[in-house]
Amino acid sequence: MNDKIPLAGLPLDELEEALSPAPAFRARQVFRWIAGGAESFDQMSNLSEEMRRELDGRFLVRQTKVVRRFESGDGSLKLQIELADGARIETMALRDGAKRRTACLSTQSGCAMACVFCKTGALRLSRNLSSAEIVEQALHLKDAVSALSNIVFMGMGEPLLNLDALRRAIAVLTGGGGGGGEGGGARAAKAAFSTRRITVSTCGVVKGILSLAEEGPAVRLAVSLTTADEALRRRLMPVAAEANPLPALKDALKRHQAQHTKRITLEAVILGGVNTRTADIEALKAFAEGLDVLINAIPWNPVDGARFEGKPLCAPSGAEIARFAAALERAGLKTVVRRSKGARIAGACGQLGAPTPVDAPDLGRPGAPG
């Protein structure tokens, strides 16, 4: 492995320290170039040739590379990215309307949560990603789609079990590079994200939610709840639910909302015939009481081999989805049914890490002949 330090994951203050004794404005220039899409020091034209050579001897602009690209008919793009140690992860750009693009970033290689309906959970955890490996996903996606409107940490892994790297990545993505000016400045300024446009999705890690409440950053929060029936949730999401019981989770969400006054999204993956009972409606209503929440009803995206209590899981019918959403609305819960995106390229919610279908549109390796 290369022992050079990757710069893409360093917040500006850490970048200034890494480049010392160079003056701070040099760090701002480099930060802006990286945020603006530079892939090598040779592209940083406002640095002297001597400084570019010196930086190239000590640092990497990026340490990861895109090895495959897949595009769905709904405008979704999946990138398979190879890390410096040879491990591979996946990241998505989802299209909403003509111009809006949301980056779905991974924070771990694999996942330890073992939710029965999620392919990534079936892979088990390989390791946490570094802040550079997280940020570089966004940079690769911007290279592919030009601009990103929002970021969601809903890819592979549990973000709140990699909180230090997550915080550093968010600091980079929201940093803006110290303003505009020469050297990628205008493009970098546009690339900076407000925390209002960043969402962290968690299986409900209480300790991490409380840490976000007390120490920030003040991003939007989504919780993969699936059901508020404690016994059923422990069978569907064994690791997450057993360590983070619903009363403690609700208390943590109240604390987070008191600190940041943002509406919280409760994500309910709809599993055919499993969690759409009247009891599930009542449990969700009781859990949501006292919270400002939106229910995101997500029809399950099939993955091979997913089973629950000995039986294959199945996707809900259109009628079951409609009944479930209508019942939630009647219970007074603001509910949105999320339209599946990226399923054809195994990039929909819960599918990352699954083999990409052989008939998926493959854009090949970057730079390869079309």
Catalytic site residue 349? Answer: yes
Q: Tens digit of pLDDT for each residue in 87-133?
A: 999 999 999 876 789 999 999 999 999 999 999 988 999 999 999 99
Catalytic site residue 267? Answer: no
The whole-number pLDDT of residue 240 equals 87
What mean pLDDT value characterizes the chain?
A: 91
* Beta pairing, strands 335-337 & 362-364: unpaired
Contacts of 192 (CB under 8 A, 6+ apart): 35, 173, 174, 175, 176, 177
Query: Is 364 a residue whose pLDDT tops 50?
Result: yes
**Residue 123 zone, left/alpha/beta (φ > 0; ψ -120 to 50; rest):** alpha
Of residues 242 and 176, more confidence is placed in 242
Alpha carbon distance 356, 362 (integer Å): 9
The whole-number pLDDT of residue 365 equals 63
The whole-number pLDDT of residue 366 equals 61
The whole-number pLDDT of residue 301 equals 94
The whole-number pLDDT of residue 102 equals 95
Query: All domains of the chain, ordered by start, with CATH?
Result: 203-300+302-339 (3.20.20.70)
Position of tokens 């604390």?
255
Contacts of 241 (CB under 8 A, 6+ apart): 204, 230, 233, 234
Helix (H, G, I), strand (E, B) or coil at 168: helix
- Catalytic residue chosen out of the listed positions 104, 115, 203, 349: 349
Given CA atoms 24, 27, 32, 35 in this order, what sign does their dihedral have? negative
Residue 200: enclosing H or E segment and its boundaries?
strand 198-202
Position of tokens 């970021």?
151
Q: What percent of the chain has pLDDT over 90?
A: 82
Query: Is 306 a residue whose pLDDT tops 60?
Result: yes
How far is CA 339 from each of CA 6, 93, 280, rounded to the nearest angstrom?
37, 15, 21
- Catalytic residue chosen out of the listed positions 16, 90, 133, 267: 90
